[in-house]
Amino acid sequence: MPDVYSERARDNILPLSQGKFFPAVFDEWRVTGQVKDHRDLVATCHLCEQERLRYHFEIANRFTRRTMWVGSSCILRFGVAVYEGSRRLTGKAVERKLASLIDQVRYDACLAALRALVRAERDTILENALDYLKNHGSLTPKFAFVVLWRLKEQGIDHSPSFFKINLRRQKYMRDMESMPASRVRMIWPALTAAQRKKAIRSSAESCVEGVLLG
């Protein structure tokens, strides 16, 4: 980051802090866990004033109670404290935590979009899938296809990794084996590596193998 960004950060952080020395004042600040997804590169970091950010992270001062919305680069550069419970994270764990906060806000947004779709279209199948997800924290293979297909069809921002698929019951394994190859391909990215191996072992002749060969 050019020096100009550090100068801007100093000018913006000192008036909101108890301390008077930069960058020592960052010891007063911590990431709150609140994230804003602006859906496009339209945000500006309130600390260094870097433009074209999609995500804002809230940081708060433990003495003055002031808050700022900043980019992840400033959190990493200036060592703003990031916690997991009562434990302060260090190194790569900080980057993973920030990534998980982004994933959570994206997940919440895509679920909200799906619920809006249910209300608009009165889609009972999708509604049942979302109810199952809410009650079990995972999806059956059939429900996973419905959810991922509607997300793709509607152009809703998501990642297949947001959704866990339940393959613990034999019925769900059989359901996946009987699905057309195109549907298996749709849910395949959401499966863990262990689930993929299990699926291939369970039926080498099924369409599951076709996902890898096709």
For 103-135, b where at least 16 C-beta lie within 10 A, e where not — what string?
eeebbeebbebbeebbeeeebeebbebbebbee
Percent pLDDT > 70 in the chain is 93
Contact 106, 159 (CB under 8 A): yes
For position 213, what pLDDT does the model report?
Answer: 40
At 203, is the pLDDT very low, low, confident or very high (cuts 50, 70, 90)? low
Q: The whole model's pTM is what?
A: 0.84
Average pLDDT over every residue of 125-138? 97
C-alpha 127/C-alpha 129 separation (Å) is 5
Cα 176 to its chain centre, rounded Å, is 26
> How buried is residue 91: exposed, middle or buried, by Cβ count under 10 Å (0-12/13-18/19+)?
exposed
At 138, is the pLDDT very low, low, confident or very high (cuts 50, 70, 90)? very high
Q: Where are the domains of the chain?
A: 3-81, 103-213
> How buried is residue 9: exposed, middle or buried, by Cβ count under 10 Å (0-12/13-18/19+)?
buried
pLDDT tens-digit profile of 21-39?
A: 999 999 999 999 999 999 9
Structure tokens at 46: 């309130």
